[in-house]
Structure 1
């Protein structure tokens, strides 16, 4: 029996794979013997229980080869990120929408309704939003990335309704702090204004300091993704879209945490020059969610943003 992880060679996917290996045998998780990473490159996790399949998830033939009758669970984490999806509409839709449909069809073809965890995003929201977004708020995306994710959520819900998969569409908060180089996400600055200054490198805040962001550490997101696979569908209910818990933090408060943890010199490395392209996308996203039901179901969140910064500093800053 096998769990599939698309995007398994990436930062989040490889962490989910490691967490699944550590959680093997956990109550609620489907019993599995190995994990198959599906991506454009090989998975960096060195474990005999992990194999890699390199290919294009939007190719229905490839999707059916990797998701077969031995598949008990699928994590669909692969995506073209928000900034690149705006720049290249065709690529974004091909991967983010067509790829999701191809994977769902492959899962359907197995005839065993595997659990299917789809990584969605708070980018499905836009327009006029309340201060705290309730679970029942309808998506109104203001980006092509958000539109594709919203359509993916509807597919996961309908395939679950039909009994083709046992789905969970998890709207991820913005994940900070990501190590490495900036990526093509419009929210990449949220990691950059912490990561770069802690390394002594200048960075820029492209949105107003009062911009509210819904944030989570990598550790909390990974724990919640593992829990999403383990929780029974009956506890989730017929609507399978979940706003994963996070922290509501303004960009200015992030810089205050940076100064408390990294010192005034680190904070001084962050400039504040607006970028309209980034503002148009990020400032359309909600900054706070009602998540009491999910917390009662066993999902978790970080205690405070200072802890998120310390988590990154302690793991990656030498």
Structure 2
């Protein structure tokens, strides 16, 4: 089997490559991104996915599965809607066409839900995006569902929650503070948490996210409707308390920003029966999530 991965040099992409290397060394990989640092154990394709020639090279007939992770982050998308359209909408649509008859896994986002959200959110909760990023992700879901309906594509679109812990000061991510909390606790450095302790978010470790993406890539299942992954609903105060058992949280301070609270700190309980039935999993507990994340950063 040969799998191509876009965004392979990114945070989630690197975790997926590690997961495949460890669990399925028999799988051949083609790694695509705008640039790579260091040498790769796998063939690489360097270029911009908005270039049709790069898409053709990426989706050659030898590729059986394409795992599309590349995206313009939400904050950057809001600042530049045209760039978001090119990267977060036009590129996935081109990949749906280029991978016709084969398997495509799209990394979507819980940003399609917008807010305020019902309690609980489940597989019947309708998307209502409140951002450029969320709107473009939802448009891709609709196009992908139609391609599945027509029998033109196999695979699924997965809605990813907040994935932690991204590299410190990850550019373009409005939710970067969720990752910064882990880095600050591990290093004992100061950071401001822009939500109150009772704020809640849906979180998943990069390791669990990678395992779910690999499960989707290797599965034979196809889902017409987007699948929301089973994240943990985490109270931020509880996250800090748990981190205190493993690191230094004395220099973390809460200074709530209303917009950040509304966008990233108001997530209700989550029920994901469809994802559960497909074999996707969360980090099992907040303690397990914290231990996994701290071990990986």
TM-score by length of 1: 0.86
Aligned match of 1:249? 234
Ranges in structure 1 where 5+ consecutive residues have no aligned partner: 26-30
Once residues 307 and 183 of structure 1 are traced to their aligned partners in structure 2, the CA distance between those partners, rounded to angstroms, is 27
Once residues 155 and 307 of structure 1 are traced to their aligned partners in structure 2, the CA distance between those partners, rounded to angstroms, is 36
Aligned match of 2:23? 23
What's the CA shift string for 1:242-275, capped at 9, x where partnerless? 111110111111111112222xxx2221122233
Aligned length: 297
Q: Secondary structure at the match of 2:245?
A: helix
Aligned match of 2:51? 59
Once residues 206 and 138 of structure 1 are traced to their aligned partners in structure 2, the CA distance between those partners, rounded to angstroms, is 28
Greater shift in the superposed pair: 295-304 or 218-227:
295-304
Once residues 310 and 24 of structure 1 are traced to their aligned partners in structure 2, the CA distance between those partners, rounded to angstroms, is 24
Ranges in structure 2 where 5+ consecutive residues have no aligned partner: none
Q: Secondary structure at the match of 1:183?
A: coil
Aligned match of 2:295? 314
Q: Secondary structure at the match of 1:13?
A: helix
Q: Is 1:136 aligned to residue 124 of structure 2?
A: yes
Question: Is the CA contact (8 Å cut-off) linking 1:167 and 1:240 kept in structure 2?
Answer: no
Aligned match of 2:244? 259
Q: Secondary structure at the match of 1:268?
A: coil
Aligned match of 1:117? 105
Question: Is the CA contact (8 Å cut-off) linking 1:245 and 1:291 kept in structure 2?
Answer: yes
TM-score by length of 2: 0.92
Question: Is the CA contact (8 Å cut-off) linking 1:67 and 1:106 kept in structure 2?
Answer: yes
Aligned match of 1:28? none
After superposition, the Cα gap between the structure-2 partners of 1:228 and 1:166, relative to the gap in structure 1 and judged at 3 Å, is same
Alignment map for 1:1-318 (pairs within 5 Å): 2-24=2-24, 32=27, 34-42=28-36, 46-47=40-41, 50-108=42-100, 113-233=101-221, 237=223, 239-262=224-247, 266-283=248-265, 286-316=267-297
Question: Is the CA contact (8 Å cut-off) linking 1:212 and 1:287 kept in structure 2?
Answer: yes
CA apart distance, 1:208: 2.6
Once residues 235 and 24 of structure 2 are traced to their aligned partners in structure 1, the CA distance between those partners, rounded to angstroms, is 37
Q: Secondary structure at the match of 2:135?
A: helix
Question: Is the CA contact (8 Å cut-off) linking 2:203 and 2:232 kept in structure 1?
Answer: yes
Q: CA RMSD in A?
A: 2.1
Question: Is the CA contact (8 Å cut-off) linking 2:15 and 2:210 kept in structure 1?
Answer: yes
What's the CA shift string for 1:276-301, capped at 9, x where partnerless? 45345324x63432123422432111
Question: Is the CA contact (8 Å cut-off) linking 2:168 and 2:179 kept in structure 1?
Answer: no
Question: Is the CA contact (8 Å cut-off) linking 2:123 and 2:271 kept in structure 1?
Answer: yes
